[in-house]
Amino acid sequence: MASTAPSRTGPRGQGRNGVLLLLGPFFLLFFLTYVVPLLYAVGLSFFRERFSGIGWDGPRLTFAGFDNYARALTDQEFIDGVGRVLLYGLVYVPLLIALAIALALLLDSAMTYGRRFFQTLLFLPHIVPGLIAAIIWLYLYTPGLSPVLDAFSALGWEIDFLGGDGVLFSLVNIAVWGALGFNVVLIFVGLQAVPRTIVDAARIDGAGELRIALGVKLPQVLPTVLVATLFTIIGALQLYTEPMILRTSGESPISNTWTPNMLAYSSAFNSNDYHYAATVSVLIALLAGVLSFLVTRFANRRALR
């Protein structure tokens, strides 16, 4: 008599194997390129190199415990760098997300024409490498080279984009210019999934375009806005390329330890202190994780209300 037990190679088993086959390469690359380097950095952070005697025998690797972390948390350069990055994020993240929401809602509005043209126009800066974009903006910020500054001078306005506290807003401007298009497209795609029946019902009830945008469409795409916000926060904490390029002008107060990432680079490749550089990197990763958790937790609480 034939057995009626379900086969392990049935549709469910084949579906499971198909999922593993498709996701396996991604998780393998993720593990090799993200998890392994992070674990390696964590391991480096618990050691340091010491010289014995007069140092002729070369450095010896010794277990340092949490000494590197204690050093970082009391290092004024690291503390100042974290403060600058957090201040940068407080300006950059809300500004970028607010502009992205406004432009995405405008593109989705029935009153907007030429959507594909404006989407392409907004997305173009995102495809420019960050290094090239920073060099272009450095040219526009440098006195004697910038036609923008020459135009301002002709009007009697003297603006220093590279000096004092103004350099922070110059960095925000570069970052917003480069990332705005991606976030607009991301939120706009989310708006396309909003049921048109809800929008039509609101119009029948007499709601105007502004009320529909803020009261109907925006609540429907809050998960997409959350994803954009998380990406933006993580990107803000990784600030490196833009200040490193502006530093070369000689006009700005930016030092080689101005941000934590610049401090890690300087410690590793200028001072050959790879263990302290790894410690700084791990602390920045922890800060990114904590901020991402807090944003997600806050969003989930708002969603449950």
pLDDT at 52: 64
Higher pLDDT, 1 or 16: 16
Pairing of strands 47-51, 59-63: antiparallel
So where are the chain's domains?
Answer: 62-304
- For the record, the structure tokens of 113 come out as 């024409």
SS3 4: coil
- 1 — pLDDT class (breaks 50, 70, 90): very low
- 232 — pLDDT class (breaks 50, 70, 90): very high
Whole-model pTM: value is 0.85
Q: What is the pLDDT of residues 248-294, one digit of tens each?
A: 887 788 999 999 999 999 999 998 899 999 999 999 999 999 998 88
Q: What is the pLDDT of residues 121-151, one digit of tens each?
A: 888 888 888 889 999 999 999 888 888 888 8
Alpha-carbon span 254 to 252, nearest angstrom: 5
Give yes or no for residue 17 having a pLDDT over 90: no
How many other C-beta atoms are found inside a 10 Å radius of the C-beta of residue 213? 20
Q: Which amino acid is at 141?
A: Y
Query: H helices within 193-221, ranges in order?
Result: 196-204, 209-212, 218-220
DSSP code for 253: -
Higher pLDDT, 180 or 114: 180
Alpha-carbon span 91 to 110, nearest angstrom: 31
Is the backbone of residue 207 left (phi > 0), alpha (psi -120 to 50) or beta?
Answer: beta
How many other C-beta atoms are found inside a 10 Å radius of the C-beta of residue 239? 22
Strands (E), 164-295: none
pLDDT above 90: percentage of residues in the chain:
46
Length of the chain: 305
Give yes or no for residue 164 having a pLDDT over 80: no
pLDDT at 283: 95
Largest Cα–Cα distance in the chain?
A: 98
pLDDT at 10: 56
Give yes or no for residue 152 having a pLDDT over 90: no
Give yes or no for residue 297 having a pLDDT over 70: yes
Give yes or no for residue 88 having a pLDDT over 90: yes
Look over the chain and give the mean of its residue pLDDT values, rounded to a whole number: 86
Instruction: Choose among 258, 229, 227: nearest CA to 241.
Output: 258
pLDDT above 70: percentage of residues in the chain:
90
Higher pLDDT, 100 or 195: 100
Alpha-carbon span 33 to 26, nearest angstrom: 10
Give yes or no for residue 73 having a pLDDT over 60: yes
Q: Could you say which of 1.10.486.10, 3.40.190.170, 1.10.3720.10, 3.30.465.10 is the CATH number of the domain covering 62-304? A: 1.10.3720.10
Instruction: Choose among 272, 293, 301, 280: nearest CA to 51.
Output: 272
Kindly list the distances between the CA atom of residue 276 and the CA atoms of 131, 140, 266, 267, 279, in Å, as whole numbers in the listed order.
26, 36, 10, 7, 5
Q: What is the pLDDT of residues 29-56, one digit of tens each?
A: 989 998 999 999 999 999 988 766 555 6
Mean pLDDT of 160-187: 90
